[in-house]
Amino acid sequence: MLQSFKAILDDHGQLHLLERVAMPRRVRVIVTILDETMPDRESIENSLLSEESLAKEWLSPEEEEAWKHLQ
């Protein structure tokens, strides 16, 4: 079973879990580094939610004509 836990990697390369993790035995782990400059989940969700309303403008015949020269 896969489980995810939040942690911080400090300036010295030490990994600090933000909560106590108890495992019944020794386990292997995979560490994924999250880039703080990436858009957060809320920003991505807002973009996806607005896509349908924006598509009405993007897919209009007038818009197609305006961009036709780039195809």
| Per-residue pLDDT tens digits for 38-51 | 667 777 777 777 87
Q: Are strands 7-9 and 15-17 parallel, antiparallel or unpaired?
A: antiparallel
- pLDDT given at position 14: 92
pTM (2 decimals)? Answer: 0.42
Choose among 24, 23, 18, 14: nearest CA to 5: 18
- pLDDT given at position 18: 92
- pLDDT given at position 38: 63
- pLDDT given at position 37: 67
Alpha-carbon distance values, 43 to 15, 40, 49, 50 (Å): 27, 5, 10, 11
| Per-residue pLDDT tens digits for 5-33 | 889 888 898 999 999 988 888 888 888 88
Q: How remote is the C-alpha of 58 from its chain's centroid?
A: 25
